[in-house]
Amino acid sequence: MDKIKDNYDIMVIGAGVVGGLIARSLSFFNAAICIVDRHIDAAMGASGANSGIVHGGYDAKSGSLKAKFNILGTAMMEETCRKLGVPYKNTGSFVIAFGPDDELELARLYENGIKGGIKGLELISGEEARKLEPALNETVTKALWSKTAGVVSPYKLNISAVENAVINGVDYLRETTVTEIQRTENGFNVITDKGALNTKVIVNCAGIYADEIAGMVNDGFFSLTPRKGEYLLIDRSEGGLVKRVIFQTPSEKGKGVLVMTTVDGNLLIGPDANIAASKEDISTHADSLDFVYKTALKSCSNLHLDKVITSFAGLRATPDTGDFIIGESRKVPGFYNVAGIESPGLSSAPAIAEFVANEISEILGGLPYKENYIEVLESHEFFRDMTMDEKERAIKENPEHGRLVCRCESVTEAEVLESIRRPAGARTVDGVKRRTRAGMGRCQGGFCMPTVVEILSKELKIEKEEVLKGDRGSYILAGRNRG
Ligand SMILES: Cc1cc2nc3c(=O)[nH]c(=O)nc-3n(C[C@H](O)[C@H](O)[C@H](O)COP(=O)(O)OP(=O)(O)OC[C@H]3O[C@@H](n4cnc5c(N)ncnc54)[C@H](O)[C@@H]3O)c2cc1C
């Protein structure tokens, strides 16, 4: 544990997008803050495996926390992403109907949205929908168009939020699992697998484990069920088949299988929704992926399985209360839950963060703002997006741009090095991938992985055999070949 202090004012447990953005908002205040996560990097929970949609906010029950924070968060998303240098696009979304029953559901969603004060909602005919999205099937009879919806890079938002918090003085304690919490006179003694820490306030953002963290202070009044969603990610050559996010009508299981182009230009289809075998089960299965593919074909028949480059799954932290759980524990002062943040948690996160940071400040008697907090992250244009002239200039300024590490995604050595050297930087091959896209292309790292391993080994001053792909124990090289 990169333990810097023994005593903190605030400990955020969980470096997902919710904990990351909360730590960032808290870092604008003058206080001793740490963010603790059991993983080696940010965005390794639900925040790294979701659809990346900034939802319009028409479907959550009016008056719920989900509805409130979705509407506020979606309105804040573009500016938050601009400040953090995170890719975001206001694409809009369609919920499509295939007949009278679905059309009734669209009318209900539209009414719910209007009641909640959502702007930019319109019901259009199947024909109008196909004019805007020619890939939609002839069987589509109507669509609910949400013009405020968009897409974002969920892991980049998460990683940049943590980086911004660290730049503003937050201690990021990676690979540190909270195992026990004891109450003390001034707050809490938090026991982790790397040692103990004292803190006055705890913000519980532990995703699918937030119920267990609450249980550690004997206030486990809610429980969370892991509901898995599996996806197929399709090559960028197919991206742009649809411009907007295409949903089918939702069911009690969730928003249903969608077809969309991600903010990075891949086509994405999924997710399904099934109770997972455990809170660690992110396996994908042929029958689930077959369901995803066949259901997506109902929206657009032009989907090619031979262009699939990978599959993945994420776990929704579904609470038995039916809504986000946000607030200080009634039983344990200073213990603050931000739990059950399933969809639309990503969309809501910027607004949740601002709200919670102000609440925590109040709990601690009104924290003063730092004088020189840094709200905007320095970001660089990706090499692949530069013009030929810009590329030449970049190589002249830094010859490490002249060495291409990932051919599929045009990622240079300079970019890989920077991803490791930035505050809260990459420590693994997947960490480099999430920051630079090296390994996200068609060959899925087949070409660039050995070079990334070599660079990580040099930069982190560890043996190549010690370099990890993802989390603890995921060694890539079992041993050395001696000729
Ligand atoms: C399939 C799927 C699709 C989704 N699609 C969307 C979407 O399109 N739009 C949208 O708005 N929302 C979406 N969501 C919801 C969104 O992903 C979540 O709301 C959001 O990522 C939750 O963030 P979090 O920080 O609460 O949780 P997480 O990202 O899971 O982070 C929790 C962190 O807590 C850490 N932790 C847990 N226990 C401990 C411990 N004991 N000690 C230390 N650390 C611990 C974990 O390591 C983890 O990093 C989707 C979710 C899923 C699963």
Q: Is the CB of 13 under 6 A from ligand 1?
A: yes
Given a contact cutoff of 8 angstroms between Cβ atoms, the answer to whether 18 and 47 are in contact is: yes
Is the Cβ–Cβ distance between 158 and 17 less than 8 Å? Answer: yes
Containing H/E element for 406?
Answer: strand 404-406
Residue 480 lies in a domain: no
* pLDDT for 446: 87
Residue 481 forms part of a structural domain:
no
Query: Is ligand 1 within 6 A of the CB of residue 162?
Result: no
Task: Render pLDDT for 223-242 as a digit per residue (tens, 0 to 9).
Answer: 999 999 999 999 999 999 99
380 is known as an active-site residue: no
Residues for the chain: how many in total? 483
CATH at 456: 1.10.10
- pLDDT number for residue 252: 75
Both 63 and 200 in one domain: the answer is yes
Retrieve residue 109's tokens. Answer: 């969603």
One-letter amino acid of 380: H
Same domain, 285 and 417: no
pLDDT in tens, 421-473: 999 999 999 999 999 999 998 888 888 999 999 999 999 999 999 999 998 88
Q: What residues contact residue 349 under an 8 Å CB cut-off, 6+ apart? A: 17, 18, 21, 73, 157, 341
Q: Amino acid identity, residue 355?
A: F
Q: What is the pLDDT of residue 481?
A: 61
Domain stops at, among 362, 379, 396: 379
Quick one: 334 and 388 in the same domain?
no
Residues 142 and 240 in one domain: yes
Are 179 and 307 within one domain? no
What does the block give as tokens for 226?
């892991």
Helix %, strand %, coil % for the chain, to 5? Answer: 35, 25, 40
Residue 483 placed within a domain: no
- What pLDDT is recorded for position 6? 85
Q: Is 357 helix (H, G, I), strand (E, B) or coil?
A: helix
179 Cα: distance to centroid of ligand 1 (angstroms) = 19
Residue whose tokens read 């267990």: 212
Position 479 in a domain = no
Q: State whether 27 and 124 are in the same domain.
A: no
**118 and 82 in a common domain:** no
Enumerate residue ranges in the chain where pLDDT < 70: 1-4, 479-483
Q: What is the pLDDT of residue 27?
A: 98
- Name the domain count of the chain: 3
Q: Which atom of ligand 1 is nearest to the CA of 177?
A: 42
Calculate how far, in angstroms, residue 67's C-alpha sits from the geometric centre of ligand 1. 18
Q: In the prediction, which pLDDT does 254 show? A: 78
Q: Is residue 477 one of the residues assigned to a domain?
A: no
Task: Please give the pLDDT value at position 180.
Answer: 98
- Is 233 in the same domain as 303? yes
Cβ of 367 below 6 Å from ligand 1: no
Q: Which atom of ligand 1 is nearest to the CA of 51?
A: 8
- In one letter, which amino acid is 77? M
State residue 3's pLDDT score.
Answer: 53
Q: Looking at the structure, do residues 10 and 120 belong to the same domain, yes or no?
A: no
* Residue reference for tokens 């300079």: 414
Task: Determine how many CB atoms are found less than 10 A away from the CB of residue 75.
Answer: 16
Distance 225 CA to ligand 1 centre (A): 13
Distance 44 CA to ligand 1 centre (A): 8
In terms of domains, do 371 and 393 share one? no
Residue ranges making up the domain that contains 404: 383-466
| CA distance to 113, 119, 138, 146, per residue, from 123 (Å) | 12, 13, 17, 9
Can you give the CATH number for the domain in which 2 is found?
Answer: 3.50.50.60
Q: Can you tell me the distance from the alpha carbon of 117 to that of 106, in angstroms, rounded to the nearest whole number?
A: 16
Please measure the distance between the N-terminal and C-terminal CA atoms of the chain and give it in whole angstroms: 38
Separation of alpha carbons 243 and 303, rounded Å: 15
Residue 270: the pLDDT is 97
- Residue 51 Cβ < 6 Å to ligand 1: yes
Q: Which atom of ligand 1 is nearest to the CA of 314?
A: 53
Q: Supply the pLDDT for residue 483.
A: 54
**Is the Cβ atom of 113 under 6 angstroms away from ligand 1?**
no
Long-range contacts of 209-214 (CB under 8 A, 24+ apart): 209/14, 209/279, 210/14, 210/317, 210/325, 210/337, 210/338, 210/339, 210/340, 211/319, 211/339, 213/13, 213/178, 213/181, 214/329, 214/335, 214/337, 214/339
Return the closest-CA partner of residue 76 out of 63, 65, 86. 86
CA distance 29 to 168: 9
Ligand 1 lined by 342 (C-beta under 6 Å) = yes
d(CA 209, CA 281): 13
Name the strand (E) or helix (H) holding 88.
strand 88-89
Burial-class residue 234 by CB neighbours within 10 Å (0-12, 13-18, 19+). Answer: buried
Judgement on whether residues 163 and 293 belong to the same structural domain of the protein? no
Note whether residue 275 is domain-resident: yes
Helices 345-363, 154-167: crossing angle, 10 deg rounding = 20
Sequence-distant (≥ 6) Cβ neighbours of residue 83 within 8 angstroms: 375, 376, 377
95: which strand partners?
Answer: 144, 247
Q: Is 439 in the pocket of ligand 1 (CB under 6 A)?
A: no
Q: What is the CATH number of the domain that holds 247?
A: 3.30.9.10
Based on the domain organization, do 202 and 349 belong to the same domain? yes
Question: What does the pLDDT read at residue 139?
Answer: 98
Tell me whether residue 48 is in a domain: yes
Domain boundary among 259, 291, 315: 315
Domain final residue pick, 379, 396, 422: 379
**Residue 471 lies inside a defined structural domain of this protein:** no
Q: What distance in angstroms lies between residue 343's CA and the mean position of ligand 1's atoms?
A: 9
> How many Cβ atoms sit within 10 Å of the Cβ of residue 40?
18
